[in-house]
Amino acid sequence: MVLKGVSKFFGEVKAVDDVDLQIDEGELFFLLGPSGCGKTTTLRVIAGFYKPDRGSAYFDDRLINDIPPYRRNVGMVFQNYALWPHMTAYDNVIYGLKVRKVPVSERVRRAREALDIVQMREFATRYPNQLSGGQQQRIALARAIVTEPDVLLLDEPLSNLDAKLRIETRREIKRIQRELGTTSIYVTHDQEEALSMADKIAIMNDGRIEQIGAPREIYSKPINSFVAGFIGETNFIEGKVSSIREGDGLMTIAAPSGDEILAGVPHGSFSVGQEVLCSIRPESIHLMDVSPGLPRDQFHEAEIIHLTYYGVIEHYIVRVFGGREVKVTNFNPDVKRRDDGERVLLAFDPEDVDVFPF
């Protein structure tokens, strides 16, 4: 599945802007981005519901721009499931096989198999309004896979489920996708969903693709400040490059407050005096009570403004002397060791500081 330079406009609005994508056979590929970023539009271009205004879409080497949706052999799971209310679950599933004029005996067998895969065999005779949200979701999935599509498209399939069911269903979808080996494109705005399920993620913003990569790569090596800010939490600190060390390439960055930050991961080439944006993840910052014996530009004095306890983590807002507030995450906080108003030292590894052009 390949998109080359695909753009789609709605009036003056560029919904999708010059998007290039390549999705490999059998891959579970995620389109992730904030709402309105163009991810659903991209999916609908692939499904054939929208024609791209520019660029082309290919299955293997076949140009599909002008192929109507019903000849594309894609399966689609809609956000609202779009189960036909006048048909039973079984009729919903078997419909695509009837349309394809699959012989009756095979039709029945395949419909049953699909219902088995989603574990909904015993609900086959129910109508959609007699099924719970999770069950409807499964039927929608069965309906999409029963025709053995070349590509499976999932448009925020879990957004209408409650939190617990969502996590269960994630595993379920992943299992089915592995089992069938169907190339799948999954649209979501939920980064946890993307990070936990994807083989590869494309981060979209404003109709453009910002970064494509495996989940770990996207999280730990964001290529720009949008990705760094969108995936996970981070602290952005503006500053100016004050020196670049020979040899190890570490940079010292002067924050407006007068602090110096030692940063190790430049994205692009920088020169002294240039304005930059540093990103440090809250979990990369360590809180200490006594000086760790590090150089002065690797730790900072600060005061705890607010501490929030979440069970598995605790979350601090601290104010670094000089004025800036910083988020810090501490794992496994089994004992309460600090309180609001206390003074602490912050330390972090230069390798955890990403620097982006400002």
Partner 1 sequence: MDRDAFIIFLCLMAFFGAFLIFPILYVFRGAFFEGGRFTLTYFMLMFKDPFYKESIYNSVVIGVFATLVTSLISVPLAYLMVRYEFPGKRLMQGILLVPLVMPPFVGAIGMKQLFARYGSVNLLLMQLNLIRRPIDWFGGGFWGVILMEALHLYPFLYLNLSASLANIDPTLEEQAENMGSSGFHLFRTVTAPLMLPGYLAGSIIVFIWAFTDLGTPLIFEYRKVVPPIIFSMVKDIWVNPMGYALTVLTLVIAVVFVVFSRRYLGRKNYEMMGRGHIVPRIRRVTGWRLPLVYLLLFVMVMGALIPQLSVIITSLAGDWFLTVLPTTWTVDYYRTVFTHSVTVTSIMNSLKFSLASTSIDIVLGVLIGYLLARKKFPGKDLLDSISMLPLSIPGIVIAFGYVAAFSGTALDPFIDPTILLILSYSVRRLPYTVRAAFSGFQQTSVSLEEASSSVGASPVRTMISITGPLIMANVLAGGIISFSAAMMEVSDSMILALREEYYPITKAIYGLNLRLGDGPYVASALGIVGTVLVACCLLAANKLLGKSMGELFRA
Q: Does 69 bind partner 1 (CB under 8 A)?
A: yes
Q: Does 293 bind partner 1 (CB under 8 A)?
A: no
Closer CB to partner 1, 79 or 284, in the complex: 79
CA distance 111 to 142: 8
DSSP secondary structure letter of residue 352: G
Minimal distance, residue 86 CB to partner 1, in Å = 5
Minimal distance, residue 22 CB to partner 1, in Å = 22
Phi-psi region of 273 (alpha: psi -120 to 50; beta: other; left: phi over 0): left
190, 196, 198, 201 alpha-carbon torsion, rounded to 10°: 50
225, 228, 234, 236 alpha-carbon torsion, rounded to 10°: -10
Closer CB to partner 1, 77 or 263, in the complex: 77
Q: Does 74 bind partner 1 (CB under 8 A)?
A: yes
Q: Does 70 bind partner 1 (CB under 8 A)?
A: yes
Contact with partner 1 (CB under 8 A) among 43, 144, 176, 304: 144
Is the Cβ–Cβ distance between 183 and 151 less than 8 Å?
yes
CA distance 309 to 331: 10
Contact with partner 1 (CB under 8 A) among 13, 63, 99, 305: 99
3-state DSSP assignment of residue 328? strand
What is the C-alpha end-to-end distance of the chain, expressed in Å?
A: 35
CB atoms within 10 A of CB 268: 11
Cα atoms found within 13 Å of the Cα of residue 108, Cβ hemisphere only: 2
Q: Does 73 bind partner 1 (CB under 8 A)?
A: yes
Minimal distance, residue 68 CB to partner 1, in Å = 8
3-state DSSP assignment of residue 214? coil
Shortest CA distance to 327 belongs to which of 316, 311, 337? 316
Q: Does 9 bind partner 1 (CB under 8 A)?
A: no
Closer CB to partner 1, 67 or 347, in the complex: 67
- Segment contacting partner 1 (CB under 8 A): 143-151, 199-207, 238-246, 281-289? 143-151
Q: Does 164 bind partner 1 (CB under 8 A)?
A: no
- Segment contacting partner 1 (CB under 8 A): 77-85, 230-238, 272-280, 330-338? 77-85
Place of tokens 């067998």: 109
Minimal distance, residue 32 CB to partner 1, in Å = 22
Q: Does 68 bind partner 1 (CB under 8 A)?
A: yes
DSSP secondary structure letter of residue 223: S
CA distance 146 to 137: 14
Is the Cβ–Cβ distance between 82 and 109 less than 8 Å?
no
Q: Does 46 bind partner 1 (CB under 8 A)?
A: no
Q: Does 84 bind partner 1 (CB under 8 A)?
A: yes
Rg, C-alpha atoms of the chain:
25
Q: Does 306 bind partner 1 (CB under 8 A)?
A: no
Q: Does 157 bind partner 1 (CB under 8 A)?
A: no
Q: Does 86 bind partner 1 (CB under 8 A)?
A: yes
121-140 positions binding partner 1, by CB under 8 A: 140
Contact with partner 1 (CB under 8 A) among 51, 54, 62, 100: 100
Minimal distance, residue 140 CB to partner 1, in Å = 8
Interface positions with partner 1 (CB under 8 A): 47-49, 68-76, 78-80, 82-86, 95-96, 99-100, 140, 143-144, 146-147, 153
